[in-house]
Amino acid sequence: MSGIENGDGACLQDEAAELKALLEQVQAPGLHKRLSAVLQSIEAELQGQEQSAVQDEPPAADAEPVAAPVAAPQPVRMPAHVAPVSSAPDKPKFEAITTFAWDQGEYNSEWVSVYVTLPGVGTAKDRVACTFDTFAFDLQVRDLEGKSYRLIKDNLDKEIVPDQSKVLVKKDKVVVKLRKSKGQFGPEHWANLTAKRPHKAAAAKDKDPSASIMEMMKDMYDEGDDNMRKIIGESMLKSQQQRAAGGSAAALDPPSFDDSDFGAGAGAGKFGDLGGMDDVL
């Protein structure tokens, strides 16, 4: 009897059938070529086994040739571990830049310069970016020899002009140029790169005008001498009385002073003793 009867032959036939079915679905030329080579190798091995079986089997006079069974095509299953590839880029992990230098140039200079040394940064010029705000800047260097770097300062000593500030990239260095905001007498002097306390101007944006006036009067009271305290104290007391009576507009007016308001001693001046004003404030 001809044909493949052992288990190895049947397995090879199944593999050949699966490869043929898979080749009908594969479109990539490289993969199609590799799978075709595997199929040819399996078919050659099957042919060799058939020839060997025919040679070993004694001839029969009335025997009719029997065709080798062809296994039905099996459905192709993709490996379970293959996951779809995401096209979204990963967010870079930044290393904080902790070493830098700064200066504000000569007297009356309009610029504050921040110097960051990064060897080879000139090759990543198109991946260097810096954003600016009134009291802040954010410098980012992405994918420089496999690493990304960032320098953020969000409480600058003085106000800057964001749309006139810029960043310069050199061979081994990045220079952040902060354009100073002009004060009454020209560019302001910076004592430090960042302020030690939050800026009142920025914090005051969320406050109403009356709160700002009351805060100013309280500062004057806390820092003034006895006579100043009496003057501020009476004004604050009058404001509270008018506010209680519904006169909110008058209550917001800051006090006015003249020379007669300031006496020579603790009991002098036209306001008399206003003890207990610390409780009012």
Q: Which residue has the higher pLDDT, 113 or 221?
A: 113
Residue 104 and residue 30 in one domain: no
Residue 133 and residue 150 in one domain: yes
Residue 10 and residue 43 in one domain: yes
pLDDT value at residue 237: 78
CATH number at residue 136: 2.60.40.790
Flag whether 120 is in a domain.
Answer: yes
Flag whether 13 is in a domain.
Answer: yes
Q: Which domain holds residue 11?
A: 1-74
Range 74-89 average pLDDT: 57
Domain boundary among 41, 74, 107: 74
Partnered with residue 156 across adjacent β-strands are 194
Which H or E run contains 49?
A: helix 29-56
Overall domain count for the chain: 3
Is the pLDDT at 1 greater than 60? The verdict is no
Lowest mean pLDDT among 100-109, 151-160, 218-227: 218-227
Partnered with residue 140 across adjacent β-strands are 129, 150
Side-chain half-sphere CA neighbours of 249 within 13 A: 0
Strand duo 147-153 + 173-179: pairing: unpaired
Radius of gyration of the chain (CA): 44
| pLDDT per position as a tens digit, 44-71 | 887 877 777 666 666 555 556 666 666 6
pLDDT value at residue 42: 79
Q: Which segment, 67-81, 99-113, 240-254, is predicted with the most confidence on average?
A: 99-113
- Produce one character per residue of 101-117: b if its CB has 16 or more CB atoms within 10 Å, e if not: ebebeeeeebbbebebe
pLDDT value at residue 83: 53
> What is the full DSSP assignment across 185-239?
TEEPPPSSSB-SS--HHHHGGGS-HHHHHHHHHHHHHHHS-HHHHHHHHHHHHHH
Range 246-258 average pLDDT: 50
Q: Binning pLDDT at 50, 70 and 90, where does residue 90 land?
A: low
The predicted model scores a pTM of: 0.43
Residue 18 and residue 60 in one domain: yes
Flag whether 82 is in a domain.
Answer: no
Is the pLDDT at 109 greater than 70? The verdict is yes
Flag whether 80 is in a domain.
Answer: no
Domain boundary among 139, 170, 198: 198
| pLDDT per position as a tens digit, 149-181 | 999 999 999 999 999 999 999 999 999 999 999
